[in-house]
Amino acid sequence: MVASDLDRTLIYSAPALQLSVPDASAPRLLCVEIYDRKPLSYLTEDAAELFAELARTTVFVPTTTRTREQYRRIHLPGPAPQFAICANGGHLLVDGESDPDWQRHVRRRLADECASLDEIRTHLRRTADPAWLLKERVAEDLFAYLVVERALLPEGWVKELAAWVEPRGWTVSLQGRKIYAVPQPLTKSAAMREVARRTDVELTLAAGDSLLDADLLLAADRAWRPGHGELADSGWRAPNLTVLDEQGVAAGEQILREFLRAAGHGRGA
């Protein structure tokens, strides 16, 4: 089974592509997401072929912090995955529909183990400065995030927020212009283990670039992270983790090759 983060791991917005080659040598890109009538996310054409092969030969599970609505905007190459993990593990999609048993399980854990979303949002509103705060949003009534003007964000504000939420059972992740506040029990790894249980797989592979992916990478038998992102910036490592040198869209392509090689399939092998 392959459980992989999507944004800035396998698919990339235009600013995140990090193409550092001459224009004439740049790889051909395939758009996999359109939003508000504009192309939003891409991968290389070679990556698209690898993606399709991976989807055909493994249990591929897209694993994202995106809401269900945001996830459904993406059109990945290859056959549609039977399982997908959305809202950082808050929703387990089975054939495109959220599994009600998993929803109940998640809600019970959140009620028992951490402070309420309302308490966290109240603190965010009280401490965020309108000078750099662009938007405040709630995802699936499970967690909150801020869209900020990164250049104006005060140094140390995110660390102060993390220190405040940690004893309340929450965690913080800064990804680009977004600051996520997420309950600690809401994890991608828990949902991945549930899919592994249902499919009875023998080998689990994972990839991701942010602190919200760390638990997923630790839970997999083998894992990869690109040379960019929150985990790279912090120097995060684990015994089962391979750190790639590639950054941007080239890293996405390499991760797909590593998945196929580890699974013993196709061009990766």
Residue 66: the pLDDT is 96
Q: How far is CA 199 from the centre of its chain?
A: 22
Residue 35: the pLDDT is 95
CB atoms within 10 A of CB 21: 9
Residue 267: the pLDDT is 53
2-107+186-265 has which CATH code?
3.40.50.1000
Residue 120: the pLDDT is 98
> Is residue 11 scored above 70 in pLDDT?
yes
Q: pLDDT-derived band of residue 260, with 50, 70 and 90 as boundaries?
A: very high
Q: pLDDT-derived band of residue 259, with 50, 70 and 90 as boundaries?
A: very high
Q: pLDDT-derived band of residue 23, with 50, 70 and 90 as boundaries?
A: confident
Q: What is the mean pLDDT of residues 206-211?
A: 96
Q: What CATH architecture applies to the domain 115-183?
A: Alpha-Beta Complex (3.90)
* pLDDT tens digit sequence for 59-69: 999 999 999 99
> Is residue 268 scored above 60 in pLDDT?
no
Q: pLDDT-derived band of residue 21, with 50, 70 and 90 as boundaries?
A: low
> Is residue 36 scored above 60 in pLDDT?
yes
Residue 269: the pLDDT is 46
Q: What is the mean pLDDT of residues 129-147?
A: 97
Q: What gap in Å lies between CA 68 and CA 139, rounded to an integer?
A: 9
Average pLDDT of the chain is: 95
* pLDDT tens digit sequence for 152-208: 999 999 999 999 999 999 999 998 899 999 999 999 999 999 999 999 999 999 999
Q: What is the mean pLDDT of residues 129-139?
A: 97
* pLDDT tens digit sequence for 75-85: 999 999 999 99
Q: What is the mean pLDDT of residues 128-137?
A: 97
Cβ 215 vs Cβ 231: under 8 Å: no
Question: What percent of the chain stands above pLDDT 70?
Answer: 97
DSSP string for residues in the chain: -EEE--BTTTBEEGGG----S-GGGPPPEEEEEEETTEEEEEEEHHHHHHHHHHHHHS-EEEB-SS-HHHHHTB--SSSPPSEEEEGGGTEEEETTEE-HHHHHHHHHHHHHHS--HHHHHHHHHHH--TTTEEEEEEETTTEEEEEE-GGGSPTTHHHHHHHHHGGGTEEEEEETTEEEEEETT--HHHHHHHHHHHHT-S--EEE-SSGGGHHHHHHSSEEEE-SSSHHHHHT---TTEEE-S--THHHHHHHHHHHHHHHT-GGG-
Residue ranges of domains in the chain: 2-107+186-265, 115-183
- 261 contacts: CB under 8 Å, gap ≥ 6: 268, 269
Question: What percent of the chain stands above pLDDT 90?
Answer: 92
Q: What gap in Å lies between CA 62 and CA 64, rounded to an integer?
A: 6
Residue 18: the pLDDT is 87
- Angle at the Cα of 240 from the Cα atoms of 246 and 84, rounded to 5 degrees: 75
